[in-house]
Amino acid sequence: MQIVESKKCTGCGACSNICPHGAIKMTEDKYGFLKPVVNTKLCINCNLCKTVCPVINSKICLEERLQAYALIYKDDIIRLKSASGGAFYAFASKLIASGGAVYGVVWDENIKAFHSRAATLEELEQMHGSKYVQSNTKNTFKEVKVDLENGINVLYTGTPCQIAGLKGFLRKDYENLFTIDLICNGVQSRLLFEKYKQNFMLDKDDDEFITNINFRSKIEGWGKYCTEITTNKHSYKIQNDLYPKVMDFSANYCCGECKFNKIPRAGDVTIGDFWGVENFNPNLNDKKGLSIILVNSTKGKKILKQIEDICVLTSVSLEVAINGNPNITGRIKSKGKQEVFLSKIQNPNISYIRLMKKYTKLPFYVIVYRILPNFIKSFIKKKILKKN
């Protein structure tokens, strides 16, 4: 039995969470993406899985006109730990302080990404930083429902398709549910991520193991894309890391035609980095991180109000937000290289390093663009690229 065509499935986990007989397990396919596998011996053909699948039933009905803000969390220590300006921590810490529960992505002991529940600030610490790989939502949709029905305020954070999956699973609106979706560039292959970790460990001691990976370390400042890998023995700083540079080629098939990473948004609030801030207000960029947030609903306005005392908020036009983050309105496609790349990463005879170098080699026109003066770059963006 197939719930939805594999290439269209986002791997959100709504189907496995809803199955009353545990007949559906989320399993990695040959490319390393989580897909549902149905045990036909346990399946009773109730079709609940199809009822909650967000791809089959894609409805996003957030009613309010979007409002955009630049956000800086006032605590610099927290902000430096965060990927951007500390927006997630601001919303999450306030909810936890009021007795609520937060769901976000953490690493397990094997450095695999999965969604987990946090009810304390100590547990929230594990959710800092960008993971850059598909997260397994596991049983968190069911856990959220229990929390909601017990009257607990819940904040769930994830990719737009995961938020859509959660809402499909719940099948009704809860006043005490608040959602944050990420400005998404596609979810990366778990197979490629395993190869990345294996390659990193090749020259390490036999008793050394990875304890944390931060793909957006601010050791060199916000926006420098420095990866920091911590092991039980050392901390390693990797500049010009190849792994984040192949995001367009290593994303799930469905990401190229995403139904959820667009306007209207799936979450009550959307968060990401405020790229392009230099064209809006350069004074906002102190190199410690800056978030762009979109408030998409009445609930979004409510939780924004609660963080005004711990953040610096600056109103921004939606046009400015989209100019810096075009993925707000739809994912940038990989120009046909995605299928070829994904087929190669599963081949054990192909060198990981050679493959990554091949796909991250910059075209000549990009190299030329990078050395141009800023005023010429601005002209190209405004007068030429915008027309296309």
Q: Cite the DSSP H helix spans in 86-158.
A: 87-97, 121-125, 140-149
C-alpha distances in Å from residue 244, one per residue of 2, 10, 189: 32, 20, 12
Query: Structure pTM?
Result: 0.91
Q: Phi first, then psi: give them for residue 46, nearest 5 degrees.
A: -80, -20
Largest Cα–Cα distance in the chain? 65
Predicted pLDDT of residue 248: 82
Q: Give a yes or no: residue 101 inside a domain.
A: yes
Predicted pLDDT of residue 375: 75
Predicted pLDDT of residue 307: 98
Q: Give a yes or no: residue 142 inside a domain.
A: yes
Predicted pLDDT of residue 371: 74
Q: Give a yes or no: residue 13 inside a domain.
A: no
Q: Phi first, then psi: give them for residue 86, nearest 5 degrees.
A: 90, 20
Q: Give a yes or no: residue 379 inside a domain.
A: no
Predicted pLDDT of residue 386: 52
C-alpha distances in Å from residue 276, one per residue of 120, 131, 247, 282, 315: 34, 23, 20, 9, 15
What lies within 8 Å, CB to CB, of 367 at 6+ separation is none
Predicted pLDDT of residue 318: 93
Q: Give a yes or no: residue 52 inside a domain.
A: no
Q: Which amino acid does the sequence have at 232?
A: N
SS3 228: strand
Q: Give a yes or no: residue 83 inside a domain.
A: yes
Give me the torsion for CA of 293, 299, 303, 304, rounded to 10°: 40
pLDDT tens, the chain, 388 aa long:
789 999 999 999 999 999 999 999 999 999 999 999 999 999 999 999 999 999 998 776 666 678 999 999 999 999 999 999 999 999 999 999 999 999 999 999 999 999 999 999 999 999 998 899 999 999 999 999 999 999 999 999 999 999 999 999 999 999 999 999 999 989 999 999 999 999 999 999 999 999 999 999 999 899 888 999 999 999 999 988 999 988 888 899 888 888 898 888 999 999 999 999 999 999 999 999 999 999 999 999 999 999 999 999 999 999 999 999 988 987 666 656 788 898 899 888 888 888 998 888 866 666 676 677 877 777 766 655 554 4
Q: Give a yes or no: residue 90 inside a domain.
A: yes
Structure tokens at 207: 């008793």
Predicted pLDDT of residue 41: 95
Predicted pLDDT of residue 65: 73
Domain containing 265 equals 57-350
> Is there a contact between 252 and 231 (Cβ–Cβ < 8 Å)?
no
Structurally, the chain folds into a number of domains equal to 1
Q: Give a yes or no: residue 304 inside a domain.
A: yes
d(CA 270, CA 327): 12
C-alpha distances in Å from residue 118, one per residue of 105, 162, 323: 10, 18, 34
> Is there a contact between 55 and 259 (Cβ–Cβ < 8 Å)?
yes
